[in-house]
Amino acid sequence: MKVAIIGELMVILLPLNDPIGKSASGKTLVVASSHGNRRTSLKIDNNPVIVNANAYIRPKTQTKSRSRKRRGRVTRRKKS
């Protein structure tokens, strides 16, 4: 991973994952990642810049799940 300041922009370069892998939850496919917080050589106000970046895609087969409302009454246990 490389980080640079170009004009008024901070530019982050991440290598593409090859092969594209599943995220920890398995819901997305990770295209590129810093693999957690990474300290860079870039400094602002004499403090190192720390970067965490993830680029991912959602598989086409994935659909949003809609939760159904529970019917009926929720009963609570009485304290003894």
The predicted-structure confidence for 4-54, as pLDDT tens digits, reads as follows 999 999 999 999 988 788 888 989 999 999 999 999 999 989 999 999 999
* Per-residue buried b or exposed e for 42-80, using 16+ beta carbons within 10 Å of the residue's own CB: beeeeeeeebebeebeeeeeeeeeeeeeeeeeeeeeeee
pLDDT value of residue 75 = 65
- pLDDT-derived band of residue 71, with 50, 70 and 90 as boundaries? low
Band of pLDDT at residue 66, cut at 50, 70 and 90: low
| Cα–Cα distance measured from residue 32 to residue 54, given in angstroms and rounded to the nearest whole number | 6
Domain boundaries, the chain: 2-57
